[in-house]
Amino acid sequence: MLQLNFMFIVQGEGRGHMTQAISTYHFLRKAGHKISCIVIGINPHREIPEYVKQQLESEIVPVECPGFVMDSKLQSVKLFPSVVQTIFKLRKYRNSLRNINNKVKEHKPDVIINFYNPLGGLYNYLYKPSIPLICIAHQYIYLHPDYEFPEGKEADKRAIKFYTRLTSIGAVKRLALSFYPINDYEKDSIVGFPPLLRKDVFEIKVKEEEFLLVYLVNSGYSEEIISWHKKNPKVELHCFTDRKELSGKYDETLTFHNLDDKKFLQMMASCKGLVSTAGFESVCEAMYLGKPVLMVPVQGNYEQFCNAHDACKPNAGAGIRDEKFNIDRLLNYLHSYKKSNSEFQQWVNSAEEKLLHHLIH
């Protein structure tokens, strides 16, 4: 079989896109293909996690990329300052595009795969390489005519569709990762696609212990967790956050952990349920392991607002959603949660074969 050379461009904001890139990386390597270079977009507030560097053996090139501005409590997204910051940093982003072009010239990839980084679409538009661009992300489902957005927030809906198209200008395929099977839409080159979960999810042993797991991508929400815990001290909670000063036992039934992907997954496989912001990747992992989820979208993050709406549909059945960390609701929901995850597992397990088909042909 002909060996192809791939180059990745990855959105470094959040865990999901990097996890999807890692899964794609391993699938391609297993099939005998080469990934010569991985460009990861970062912003000054976050670093490339160590687990990403450990699992990707190819050259990693960090470039500055647009990101969200958070409020002073690190809880909500501030849209207008985010736009202003992007405008003021256009010069830096032009430098990022030049860096990408230099790496394309150096590595001469056969295919470029973009994981929802706006620089990928802009590079394809401005530099017009002859190399095919394939885009992979959950957000491409927003461009599918059958996708049902939550009611209201029309300005946000238009903005997210515009941004999603921006990331995929000129793409030959858009692989739209979905909680459930959805038909392809050829007009926009959209392929309904299973979630790309990390390989550890398939190998871990599932059990149930008497604790709830909490995942906070924005550390500002830790005060809400502490407040709820003080009113419910008998409920054992394990909370993962990037607030290193909180790491360790808060008391006998609340423990804070530093972000650690493997440890988090092990505890997810053992918990009664997950309390989390509505990141696509974490919700999918919980669904695969058969763990009900209380989803609390980050304020101002329309993507997570959509994720929570979509994951609560009957054909997904991930759990329940709320605007606050009302963990009581999850405790009550546990008694009625009987959703079988076998169909979802089958959908996810088909990803490797489908991925190789669409990336190679």
Give the pLDDT confidence of 260-293 residue by residue, as tens digits. 888 999 999 999 999 999 999 999 999 999 999 9
Q: Which of 81, 52, 51 is nearest to 66 (CA)?
A: 81
Strand order in the sheet with 319-321: 248-249, 254-258, 237-241, 212-215, 273-276, 293-295, 319-321
241: pLDDT strictly greater than 70: yes
Residue closest to 292 by CA, chosen among 274, 268, 277: 274
Of the pLDDT bands very low, low, confident and very high (cuts 50, 70, 90), residue 66 is confident
Among 54-63, 80-89, 237-246, 312-321, name the one with the lowest average pLDDT. 80-89
- On whether the pTM is more than 0.85, the answer is yes
Identify the pLDDT of residue 339: 66
Domains of the chain (ranges, CATH numbers): 5-193 (3.40.50.2000), 201-347 (3.40.50.2000)
Q: Is the pLDDT confidence value at 154 over 60?
A: yes
Q: What is the arithmetic mean of pLDDT over 159-164?
A: 88
C-alpha triplet 320, 322, 326: angle, nearest 5°: 100
**At CA 14, angle to CA 13 and CA 17, rounded to 5?**
85
Residue partners of 313: CB distance under 8 A and separation at least 6: 148, 179, 180
Q: Please state the φ and ψ torsions of residue 230, each to the nearest 5 degrees.
A: -65, -30
Give per-residue pLDDT as tens, 10-52: 998 767 899 999 999 999 999 999 999 999 998 766 678 888 8
Task: Return the percent helix, strand and coil in the chain, to nearest 5.
Answer: 45, 20, 35
| 8 and 38 Cβ atoms separated by less than 8 Å | yes
Helices (H), the chain: 16-30, 50-55, 79-88, 90-107, 118-127, 154-166, 200-203, 222-231, 261-268, 280-289, 302-311, 327-333, 342-349, 351-360
Which residue, among 338, 215, 339, has the nearest Cα to 275 in the 3D structure?
215
Average pLDDT across the chain, whole number = 90
Q: Which pLDDT score, from 0 to 100, does residue 45 have? A: 65
Sign of the Cα pseudo-torsion (291, 293, 298, 303, in order): positive
